[in-house]
Amino acid sequence: MTAPDTFDRLIQPRSIAVIGASSNAASVGGQALALLTEFSFHGGVYPVNPKYKTLKDRPCYPDVLSAPKPCDLALIAVSAPQVPAAIEQCGQAGIPFAVVLTAGFQELGKPGLKLQQELEASIDKSGVRVVGPNCIGLLNRKADIRCGFGATMASREAASSPGPLAMVTQSGGFGMSMAGLADDAGLGCSYIVSTGNETDVSALELLSYFLERPDIEAALAYIEGIHDGRQLLELGKKALRLGKPVLLWRVGDTPAGRKAAVSHTGRLTADETLFRLTVREGGFIPIDDVDDLVDVASLIHGGKRARGRRIGIVTLSGGAGVLMADLCERNDLEVSETSQDTLSRLKAHAPGNASLSNPMDVLSSAYYDDEYASYNRLIAEALSAPDFDQLIVRSPPIPNAPPWRWAEGFAAAVSASRKPVALLWGNGRRSREILDLFPRWSIPCFSSPRRAVRALAGWCDFSVKAERFSARSGPGPRPIEALPLPLPVGATSTLGERESKAVLASYGIRVLEGVLLGEAEIEALRSPPTAFPVAVKIESADIPHKTEAGAVRLGISDMTSLKAAAREVIAAARRFQPGARIDGLCIQPMLSGTELIAGAVSDEQYGPVVLIGLGGIFAEALGDVTHRLAPFDFAEARSMIEELRGRAVLDSFRGRLPSDVDAVTDTLHRLSWLISDHRERIVEIDINPLFVGAAGEGAIAADALVVLRKAPKAQP
Amino acid sequence: MTAPDTFDRLIQPRSIAVIGASSNAASVGGQALALLTEFSFHGGVYPVNPKYKTLKDRPCYPDVLSAPKPCDLALIAVSAPQVPAAIEQCGQAGIPFAVVLTAGFQELGKPGLKLQQELEASIDKSGVRVVGPNCIGLLNRKADIRCGFGATMASREAASSPGPLAMVTQSGGFGMSMAGLADDAGLGCSYIVSTGNETDVSALELLSYFLERPDIEAALAYIEGIHDGRQLLELGKKALRLGKPVLLWRVGDTPAGRKAAVSHTGRLTADETLFRLTVREGGFIPIDDVDDLVDVASLIHGGKRARGRRIGIVTLSGGAGVLMADLCERNDLEVSETSQDTLSRLKAHAPGNASLSNPMDVLSSAYYDDEYASYNRLIAEALSAPDFDQLIVRSPPIPNAPPWRWAEGFAAAVSASRKPVALLWGNGRRSREILDLFPRWSIPCFSSPRRAVRALAGWCDFSVKAERFSARSGPGPRPIEALPLPLPVGATSTLGERESKAVLASYGIRVLEGVLLGEAEIEALRSPPTAFPVAVKIESADIPHKTEAGAVRLGISDMTSLKAAAREVIAAARRFQPGARIDGLCIQPMLSGTELIAGAVSDEQYGPVVLIGLGGIFAEALGDVTHRLAPFDFAEARSMIEELRGRAVLDSFRGRLPSDVDAVTDTLHRLSWLISDHRERIVEIDINPLFVGAAGEGAIAADALVVLRKAPKAQP
């Protein structure tokens, strides 16, 4: 059979076979059958087990081939050695989906290896799409279909409060309990799938599917490891395109190590970095607590998107204003300045001594008499002001009993605006009734300022990314047309320094040209080929790390030293790698300026990436490096530099002139196109150091290393 | 009258005068009177206002002198210009305390200045201890005494749930609402004082008082600015000594700027740094959200203290275990290894396939039949194991209705142990009844893993500090006896490099000795006074920043260059500061090694402080510097180095040998005693750079600057 192109029949099966059904209520097969028969699933349920004639007053079938048709899903609960055969039978029976609850495969390590191989073979052969193994199943809470086992799935509330979320979780138990907490906040999940070992169907595939469902506003992922960077990248783009975020809770480390990289750049661009970069640039909202889930989901459910990062803070207490401003800044929301025009409009609704610049502290006492109606007028005015993209509002003291006129007026003001508003509740939880109103009005309400601001910031970040994604047609104008690489004939693997620099130069990146001379030519020299002081380096594609090889001498100031250095460098290179092909010695002028490193990697999974960092040992010791997926525009290149923690070394500093940041930006911009145009041919580019001079003096690659793919693919 | 030595009568007054009482229920004076007469205060209430004969069916007095005695407290609500006279009258009437609710003093800036001065004078003259002005008053919720005004103070619940906390807040409104949230968590405040402008009584004084009350377990401070570092330091020590933490929520920035410092060290040791350092080393738990307050307070209330940072994680879900381990590490709790002995004990209570190394994942299914009684046995075993100082336990699925046998068994296990245990609740909030049990059992219960771990970490940090504080008699053995400073006769202000180095050397810190020569002596030289390459620097106490003055030349390798450099340096120094006293030129060998900076400051308020950082422009650009209050022991000095973000530059790195970290530690240790012994004489010490060689090669101060106090105080 052929694989279906959606998962509709997986999550909404017409009939379900339970392979390994049992009369033992404590067994997995027994639980699975009970969950399907004791709740409200109305489709066909076909127990399969040769040991029984009937189970739960239904006919029990000896094998799945003898069960009725059509059957959309098989739950597999037989012992691990029997699983592969069961899957093959599903294929023969034309069942498109199976969920394998049984454990005992690759998660056991070596002892599970043989069965794992059989499992994989059976999936390939049968064409069945398989969820699991080693999972607790899936739950369609909208239709109350419970395919799985375990205490949480059997609980009274497991199918209550279906809502606009879908959850895909690599940890079944924890995922179920998160779903319960989302319910408490009135934001339930309609679908929950536990993916277990992900031998076939991956969490990313399912997330991608759920985003496309019209009944889903956001997907939630609890992830312990991601194996397919490309799929993650595509999911991130889809989320932006559809305007539906993936709330991503990731724990643990990426299990997949990365091959030891040839260049420095390679080492700084490990899987973990690429993962984070992809999450940051795609339609993901990273969360790391159940609180985050509930909080961000309540904002998504409000349905309003911020168009920028500017936030207005409205409060009746100066103290709350200060602390919220602190929090907003820490979370990259901009506590924006208020225009004169807006200030004068706000003034009409505030007491004379109110402080109306942002954060707006309008003094509780002034509104004491009118149940804060004018506070609501002020809020409405702030919402309509062009100065703010979103608002956070602190509640006034609220009476203990209805009528809650302030709350009603506030809800009216909020619903009249398209901007997100978070309410910061300051009245304790005693008046439960009123607290229950806000979710009904789709007003996100928080008692913790930190949670309010974090959630606003996460949602704002997604909204701004989605807006930019839909506005943008591409990565902006090229700095240069795509050009063929000036490669030596038959070049493979690592290029020498001069060859590497030629590649950079072909895309307009400034490189420090040296003079290449043979050993004998240097011995015969009478004057330096370039003004002293100079550097002498080995030129050999076989020795990519010249410093490690001891094949570099710096700061040479006279002819005697130069000749001695040349001899030493050659000797060191020969010692370091006997038989290395040596093309000669490169003599370069010594440069000054601030030392940076720049580089690019074309990752098999994530594609082309560019990085910039502080140079020397500090890049490595402090990890002060920023990355971007390539290609990108000039502004994006600039933002990479601005994000460096040690950014200040490029400013006017201790009497030095400010550095030529424009030139560094231009270098990164060009590098991003170079690696993008030639991603199939180039694996890594390493510029170390990149010297940057004072403004106007430019940036120049003093050393460079280009690593090619050993077996070049065809150009796309 | 003389000031009382406790605030007992302030928070528990026998009688209260309301100066500026009014029949207008909306006015501050009207509200203050109503709050005292309409709730359950049983002492005397004496309205004072010449306009009325009676108010609220009580005699109203024309002035406070005519009111009955004894009277412990006056609430002052008259207009700002009348406040100083009212305070003076309180003094004459023998009233020890006043709370000034009126605003309109220094918070107005310049327009309030005159009244502020009158206010201060009246306080000095009267001897009355004054809270405020510009505050909302104070609340003794134990006795339901409401001294103040505003909607929150009048609310039904303002006096409910007094508990083991006392709150001092610089923001009245926000403080009151925080108190309400603490109530919701069953951890109410017994006393709340809003301190307003703090013209007299400071938040720190009140906090110090509350810590000493036997009915208080912890104090809570909401602080916008601290003006007295010394008091903060003392409060931090008292909190450690008494084992009662101050939960410190600080917002905004310190308003007080610090004088432009002479040295680099001075610039890196601003008020903000010293504030943080003091908080970190004292008995404070920094919080920055209402959630933190509630969470940490619930642990404090549990009454159990961790003796170290090791935490055991017990869970029935692998996913939860991984994420909690992540969280613990991020919060400096140690997910410790489990000993073989403990592992074998745990084994008796777990299914065979459970993973018993920490985090312990013991698989829900195995306990399905016995209502998780053996899960409780496992927890009790883990609690009695010497491997863990505290535990975090994830709840199993709990039935929807009683009996909750698991919960009862868990509570029994927890109460039998002296270690803190946090329960991570995974069952949603539907079973409210059971959730209400945990606080009654004093078991801190969380649904958010992040909140659970943050709270455990905060409380653990305090507990460990308090334990260490009580174990420690002093800062450990001295590296050297206290010695007089080898100062030139009449030395004031900035010392020259050689004089500065002599001070360091007197405490056993290695310094790079140079040769001091006059201009003419250098011209006459025939060979270098120290082997090439050398550095030439100006020697002048008037030019502390030699590099800025252009009065340093590095890397000189021959006699001609040396003489030229000497002439240039002299000329540059004369240009930079005409008239500077020049003692000659210092010629030093060039050093290699890793460049650090070290320094010390004797702050007027916080006392002696030592710092270490990465050298060169990186120290400044990256701010990679750590500080400690001095003096300290060798281990503490070592921990300063370990905390550097760029710590890795001292490791074996890119083929370099590991640096001599012991020597740097020794330098810091000595520096801490030098600055402590001579805190009255030395303002700042700056070692920049401090070169550190490979292990065994030592650390050496290549340049140094000591700044003396201009008018030296008497030695203590």
* B162 confidence band (pLDDT: 50, 70, 90): confident
* Strand B334-335 versus strand B310-315 pairing type: parallel
Segments of chain A assigned to CATH 3.40.50.720: 1-136
Higher pLDDT, B602 or A652: B602
CATH fold for the domain made of B594-708: D-amino Acid Aminotransferase; Chain A, domain 1 (3.30.470)
Give the number of other CB atoms < 10 A from CB of residue A82. 14
Q: Rounded to whole angstroms, how far apart are CA atoms A691 and A694? A: 10
Provide the number of CB pairs (under 8 Å) joining chain A to chain B: 196
Per CB-CB distance under 8 Å, the chain A contacts of B561 are none
* Cβ-defined contact of A251 to B427 (cutoff 8 Å): no
- Residue among B317, B375, B645, B651 with most chain A CBs within 10 A, to mutate: B317
What pLDDT does A430 receive? 61
**Long-range contacts at A521-530 (CB < 8 A, ≥ 24 apart):** A521/A584, A522/A562, A522/A563, A522/A566, A522/A585, A522/A587, A523/A563, A523/A566, A525/A559, A525/A562, A525/A563, A526/A559, A527/A559, A528/A559, A528/A562, A528/A587, A529/A587, A530/A587, A530/A588, A530/A589
pLDDT higher than threshold 70 for residue A262 = no
pLDDT higher than threshold 50 for residue B254 = no
* Cβ-defined contact of B174 to A317 (cutoff 8 Å): yes
* Cβ-defined contact of A184 to B428 (cutoff 8 Å): yes
Segments of chain A assigned to CATH 3.30.1490.20: 513-589
Higher pLDDT, A589 or B401: A589
pLDDT higher than threshold 80 for residue B186 = no
**Long-range contacts at B335-339 (CB < 8 A, ≥ 24 apart):** B335/B311, B335/B359, B336/B310, B336/B311, B336/B312, B336/B387, B336/B388, B337/B387, B338/B312, B338/B385, B338/B387, B339/B385, B339/B386, B339/B387
Q: Which amino acid is at A502?
A: A
* Cα of A148 to nearest chain B Cα, Å: 14
Higher pLDDT, B178 or A304: A304
Higher pLDDT, A258 or B63: B63
Per CB-CB distance under 8 Å, the chain B contacts of A222 are 319
Report the Cα–Cα distance between both ends of chain A, in Å, rounded.
32
What pLDDT does B355 receive? 84
- Residue among B400, B448, B651 with most chain A CBs within 10 A, to mutate: B448
Q: Give the residue carrying structure tokens 């006059």.
A: B518
Contact A711, A692 (CB under 8 A): no
Give the number of other CB atoms < 10 A from CB of residue A685. 30
pLDDT higher than threshold 90 for residue B119 = yes
* Cβ-defined contact of B547 to A654 (cutoff 8 Å): yes
Give the number of other CB atoms < 10 A from CB of residue A523. 11
* Among A residues 19-38, those touching chain B with beta carbons less than 8 Å apart: 26
* Cβ-defined contact of A317 to B171 (cutoff 8 Å): yes
Q: Is B171 on the interface with A (CB under 8 A)?
A: yes
* Cβ-defined contact of A251 to B323 (cutoff 8 Å): yes
Higher pLDDT, B59 or B614: B59
Per CB-CB distance under 8 Å, the chain B contacts of A175 are 319
What pLDDT does A429 receive? 63
Span A38-70, pLDDT tens digits: 888 989 999 999 999 999 999 999 999 999 999
* Strand B145-148 versus strand B137-140 pairing type: antiparallel
Top mean-pLDDT range of A142-156, A609-623, B570-584: B570-584
Q: What 3-state DSSP class applies to B258?
A: coil
Structure tokens at B74: 């006056």
pTM for this prediction:
0.82
Give the number of other CB atoms < 10 A from CB of residue B555. 12
- Estimate the crossing angle of helix B449-471 against helix B318-330, to 10 degrees: 40
Span A89-104, pLDDT tens digits: 999 999 999 999 999 9
Beta bridge partners of A250: A223
User: Closest Cα partner for B613 from B589, B588, B636, B640?
Assistant: B640
Span A227-236, pLDDT tens digits: 788 899 999 9
Q: Is B151 on the interface with A (CB under 8 A)?
A: yes
Q: Give the residue carrying structure tokens 């997949």.
A: A256
Higher pLDDT, B171 or A383: A383
* Mean pLDDT of all residues in A5-18: 93
Per CB-CB distance under 8 Å, the chain A contacts of B620 are 648, 653-654
Structure tokens at A337: 């300045």
* Cβ-defined contact of A621 to B653 (cutoff 8 Å): yes
Please name the member of A155, A291, A620 whose beta carbon is closest to the beta carbon of B397.
A155
Q: What 3-state DSSP class applies to B510?
A: coil
Give the number of other CB atoms < 10 A from CB of residue A432. 7
Exposure letters A444-465 (e unless 16+ CB within 10 A, then b) = bbbbbbbbbbbbbbbbbbbbbb
- A474 burial (CB, 10 Å; 0-12 / 13-18 / 19+) is exposed
* Cα of B482 to nearest chain A Cα, Å: 37
pLDDT higher than threshold 90 for residue A645 = no
Segments of chain B assigned to CATH 3.40.50.261: 161-302, 305-471
What pLDDT does B271 receive? 74
What pLDDT does A445 receive? 92
* Cβ-defined contact of B184 to A449 (cutoff 8 Å): no
What pLDDT does A257 receive? 31
pLDDT higher than threshold 90 for residue B239 = yes
Please name the member of A174, A365, A548 whose beta carbon is closest to the beta carbon of B320.
A174
* Mean pLDDT of all residues in B506-514: 94
Residue A130: its H or E element: strand A129-131
* Cβ-defined contact of B428 to A548 (cutoff 8 Å): no
* Cβ-defined contact of B151 to A369 (cutoff 8 Å): no
Segments of chain A assigned to CATH 3.30.470.20: 594-708
* Mean pLDDT of all residues in A90-119: 93
* B110 confidence band (pLDDT: 50, 70, 90): confident
pLDDT higher than threshold 60 for residue A471 = yes
Q: Rounded to whole angstroms, how far apart are CA atoms A65 and A92? A: 7
Per CB-CB distance under 8 Å, the chain A contacts of B177 are 317, 320, 426-428
Does the domain at A1-136 match CATH 2.40.30.30? Answer given as no
In chain B, the percentage of residues whose pLDDT exceeds 70 is 91
What pLDDT does A261 receive? 42
**Long-range contacts at A238-243 (CB < 8 A, ≥ 24 apart):** A238/A208, A238/A211, A238/A212, A238/A283, A239/A211, A239/A282, A239/A283, A239/A284, A239/A466, A240/A282, A240/A283, A240/A465, A240/A466, A240/A469, A240/A470, A241/A283, A241/A469, A241/A470, A242/A211, A242/A212, A242/A283, A243/A305, A243/A466, A243/A470
| Class level of CATH domain A161-302 | alpha beta
Please name the member of B181, B224, B622 whose beta carbon is closest to the beta carbon of A319.
B224
Phi/psi at B473 (nearest 5 deg)? -95, -25
Across A480-489, B59-68, B494-503, least confident range? A480-489
* Among B residues 222-241, those touching chain A with beta carbons less than 8 Å apart: 222, 224
* B267 confidence band (pLDDT: 50, 70, 90): low
* B427 confidence band (pLDDT: 50, 70, 90): confident
* A2 confidence band (pLDDT: 50, 70, 90): very low
CATH fold for the domain made of A513-589: Dna Ligase; domain 1 (3.30.1490)
- Residue among B264, B323, B353, B547 with most chain A CBs within 10 A, to mutate: B323
* Among A residues 271-330, those touching chain B with beta carbons less than 8 Å apart: 288-291, 316-320, 322-323, 326-327
Phi/psi at B73 (nearest 5 deg)? -145, 140
Q: Measure CA A56 to chain center.
A: 46
* Cα of A463 to nearest chain B Cα, Å: 25
**CATH of segment(s) B305-471:** 3.40.50.261
Q: Alpha helices of A201-317 — where are they, by DSSP H?
A: 203-212, 229-242, 264-268, 271-281, 290-302
pLDDT higher than threshold 70 for residue B619 = no
**Which residue of chain A comes nearest to B325, CA vs CA?**
A252
Structure tokens at A664: 């560094």
Q: Rounded to whole angstroms, how far apart are CA atoms B49 and B40? A: 23
Q: Give the residue carrying structure tokens 């420690």.
A: B472
pLDDT higher than threshold 90 for residue B414 = yes
Span B684-716, pLDDT tens digits: 999 989 999 988 899 999 999 999 987 655 444
Beta bridge partners of B629: B609
What pLDDT does A620 receive? 65
Per CB-CB distance under 8 Å, the chain A contacts of B556 are none
Q: Is B255 on the interface with A (CB under 8 A)?
A: no
* B72 confidence band (pLDDT: 50, 70, 90): very high
Q: Which amino acid is at A489?
A: V
Angle subtended at Cα B550 by Cα B595 and Cα B512, rounded to the nearest 5 degrees: 40
What pLDDT does B655 receive? 61
Sheet holding A73-76, edge to edge: A44-48, A15-19, A73-76, A97-100, A129-131
* Strand B445-446 versus strand B421-424 pairing type: parallel
* Cα of A202 to nearest chain B Cα, Å: 17
* Mean pLDDT of all residues in A364-385: 81
Per CB-CB distance under 8 Å, the chain B contacts of A182 are none
Q: Which amino acid is at B416?
A: A
* Mean pLDDT of all residues in B130-139: 93
Across B80-84, B358-362, B616-620, least confident range? B616-620
Contact A457, A465 (CB under 8 A): no
* A716 confidence band (pLDDT: 50, 70, 90): very low
Higher pLDDT, B637 or B151: B637
* Cβ-defined contact of B251 to A369 (cutoff 8 Å): no
Contact A14, A69 (CB under 8 A): no
User: B411 Cβ partners below 8 Å, 6+ apart?
Assistant: B437, B438, B441, B443
Please name the member of A171, A289, A396 whose beta carbon is closest to the beta carbon of B448.
A289
Radius of gyration of chain A (CA): 32
Across A312-321, A578-587, B232-241, B619-628, least confident range? B619-628
Span A135-159, pLDDT tens digits: 999 999 888 899 999 877 877 666 6
Q: Rounded to whole angstroms, how far apart are CA atoms A42 and A44? A: 7
